[in-house]
A and B are shown apart, each in its own frame.
Chain A
């Protein structure tokens, strides 16, 4: 076996060891994550909490601000996706109803009609 071949084998071995160390043994740690990185079940529970609060507060602008923490998509889309997940995961009917009610309210929500919060 030529020297170059053994040299490249050594490089490949080093790459494998480096990847194993960097991905498995000591991966990059994220300790200050944003809500958009939460897994779908936590996101759905977050949306459920927004829906629970909205059912009493009836403050759609506040609900939208809370949902905006999850990601930059339209609030109605976020709630629809979470509701779909809730339905497939067998959430309690009362919970799904709250999420649907929030989704319906958001369908007709117009941010231009909101009075600015001081």
Chain B
């Protein structure tokens, strides 16, 4: 009699109890194991390692199609930007220079603009904060899983931007650029080969009292494949040379300029290096 008066609540109690047991097993004691994950699910720092390795492998094989297919596995929103930013981070963080260079060169290869590159004079007004050009959508459609499709080695030498081998660079032009839009002041470097084509991947070394920095041309392809820049601190004297050998330039300090309205600001140095 008492049991009948309790009604069917015991069924609901059993159901909830069972549900809790089921969820505990599914989420805690025996969760779904991800043992066959894809590179896109990797933690950010592992993705960085993966991306650097893709770039190093690209530098070895020159196979841009394969490198692009591998990068697509990481599902970066903008693979060009991811590469360029990681290259800068690697340099700034004291990482392997060859990895930074590989990342930069792969970024350049992916974001390579049409053959018409900005002339040297365009650099005087180009703002360093300009955003990078995205890779072409047509090129971004090449998708495949590199491992299972047994990709073949197809070197693409014409798409592999490597520094021109030959004579060391000589300083052709050193010019103070008075442009208030360029703030803070920069040392702008442009490396050209004998045919006056921009040369990416040229290592630039800047030294000053108590410090040194190294970077590569071409990390900002929107400003030219042979372009690189360095931010100056007013009052500090810098010396610059191209690491592949070449004419050193010393006593580079931020010089004051005067705008049309009388306002004073620091100008930038533009250095054009050419291979004879």
Contact = CB atoms under 8 A, between A and B. Distances in A.
B38 A19 contact: no
B16 to A, nearest CB: 6
Given A10-B18, A57-B98, A30 B41 contact: yes
Contacts of B25: 15, 18-19, 22
Interface residues of B, number: 53
A56 B55 CA distance: 13
A30 B46 CA distance: 14
Contacts of A21: 22-23, 26
Contacts of A40: 36
A13 B15 contact: yes
Nearest to A7: B14
A81 interface: no
A47 B153 CA distance: 16
Contacts of B16: 14
Given A10-B15, A21-B22, A30 B60 contact: no
Interface string A34-54: 110111111011101110110
B153 A66 contact: no
Contacts of B20: 14, 18
A43 to B, nearest CB: 8
A48 B70 CA distance: 12
Interface of B: 3, 10-27, 31-32, 34-39, 41-44, 46, 49-50, 53-54, 56-57, 59-61, 70, 73, 96, 98, 145-148, 150-153
6 contacts: A10-B11, A23-B26, A31-B41, A32-B43, A52-B61, A66-B49
